[in-house]
Chain A
Amino acid sequence: MAIRRGRGVAAINYPTGMNLGGDPTQALVHSTPTGNFMVTLSSVDLGQGMKQIMAQICAETIGVPSDRVVVDTADTDTGPHCMGTFASRGTHRAGNAVIQAAREARQVMLEVAAEELEVNASDLETDGQGNILVKGAPQKSISIFDVALSAHFKRGRSISGRGMFLIPRSYPEKETGAMKPSTCYAHACTVAEVEVDDETGEVTVLTVKNIFEIGRALNPKMVEQQLIGGSWMGISHALYETTEPYYPNRDHGGTDFNQYLMPGPGDLAQTEIIVLERPSADGPYGAKGPGEMCANPQIPAVANAVFDAVGVRIDTLPITPERILRALKAQAPN
């Protein structure tokens, strides 16, 4: 018996947003009488944290702490249109829509503050803590709480805004394929280290070192969540997952979590994640979509590492112990 070790690398890029564009998202933002802000959307939170990220984007743009923003989403009677949560588009598309809506609301807020402070709105700035200050004279200020009260009860203004983000649809040219699939791309490079048992074909992923470039980590802890989970899913795709394990025989597909295989908590690779940020030109605060691409580079990196370990290429996913063992046996006479 021999446990053989190998390592492999892969580098990838990934488009943000629906292929070829044409996928709108809209947002509404308004203040309550006491200066809290509501973001209304119809975007869906699948668990990636859409609500929290939209709150932070709105808060940054308005100039309040994010806990003063409430995100109300996914009720079609109230929320404006969103194409949906897919294609790594949520943060990018909805985030841009929220920024536009929040900017419009912020402008009204500053106009009301300007009237209260008897200055020009263009001379005002926010401190991010819930106050509006005169640039260069911060002792002259008003709280957003008071501005909202004034807008509602004294000045008859609606501190609100509408946001819309649409990348115009690109139609591929028939013969050349000239097209614009996406406006920005995330990047990754992964190095995986594996051990392969050459008598059983079993693979243990020892380490994965993932470098992800995601434009901007809007909330680093939430980015980390997605990247760790994605890296796990990539390894799972590489080595375990299939609904038809013996295709072209279509029988024997797993129907439960015992028989549809995914790595368990005792199968985890030691996972290192490093994030680079090259802000995208059109992303909200430079963000790109990290949610999908983070599960891609592990697959070829593991495949290449298996080859490095035992010298057989498994070019069909998943790279099961059976496929490795068959390849090793086919290679054996040489």
Chain B
Amino acid sequence: MAKVPVQFTLNGAEKAEFIDSGTTLLNALRDKIGDTSPKGGCHQGTCGACSVIIDGELRLSCLTLAETCNGAAITTTSGLSEGGVLHPLQRAFLDAFATQCGFCTSGMIMAAKVLLDHTPNPSRDEVVEALSGNICRCTGYEPIIQAVLTAARSNSQNAA
């Protein structure tokens, strides 16, 4: 089987691996690099649990071939907290009791992070739209929406 090189930064750290051509980014991250924070809930692009940020854009790692990410900057939920301090979104998800089984959580946080990076003070409708590609079966979404709105408020307070 043809092995191909992939090289990108993952949460700021350089990564280089040889992988089978045609390997999805999700499988490369989980099986080769050992970052299991993106989850494989469907491998169809319908659940959002595998969401990662590639060069500032939200992407589904299950539908992205790893070898198309050469030179990219990839962010996953496992890389959000710095020095043991949680990212404001992570803190807000905790405080809002927005996780139950937790399987969708890291994808939700990725989707929310891209939103807040571009839209620091989103409306509720903007939050709903940003989360719309991510499925949660436990929470009924409302606690997650509230967590994102709370994180946005705490961001803007810090900035003020």
| Chain A residues near B (Cβ < 8 Å) | 46-49, 221-222, 224-226, 228-233, 256-258, 262, 264-266, 268, 271
Contact = CB atoms under 8 A, between A and B. Distances in A.
Contact of B101 (A46, A257, A271): A46
A310 to B, nearest CB: 26
B6 to A, nearest CB: 28
Given A228-B142, A271-B140, A271-B142, A47 B46 contact: no
Interface stretch (B18-26, B70-78, B129-137): B129-137
B101 A265 contact: no
A256 B141 contact: no
B140 A49 contact: no
A78 B100 CA distance: 25
A47 B101 contact: yes
Secondary structure type dominating chain B contacts: loop
B93 to A, nearest CB: 12
Contacts of B100: 47-49, 225-226, 229
A281 B144 CA distance: 35
A229 B100 CA distance: 9
Given A257-B42, A257-B47, 7 more contacts: A47-B103, A228-B143, A229-B100, A232-B142, A256-B44, A265-B131, A271-B140
A13 B93 CA distance: 32
A257 B42 CA distance: 8
A266 B14 CA distance: 39
Contacts of A268: 140-142
Contacts of B131: 265
Interface residues of B, number: 25
A47 B143 CA distance: 15
B97 A229 contact: no
Given A228-B139, A257-B47, A258-B46, A266 B97 contact: no
Nearest to B134: A265
Contacts of A230: 140
Nearest to B48: A257
A232 B141 contact: yes
A47 B138 contact: yes
Given A222-B97, A225-B100, A257 B142 contact: no
Given A265-B128, A266-B128, A221 B140 contact: no
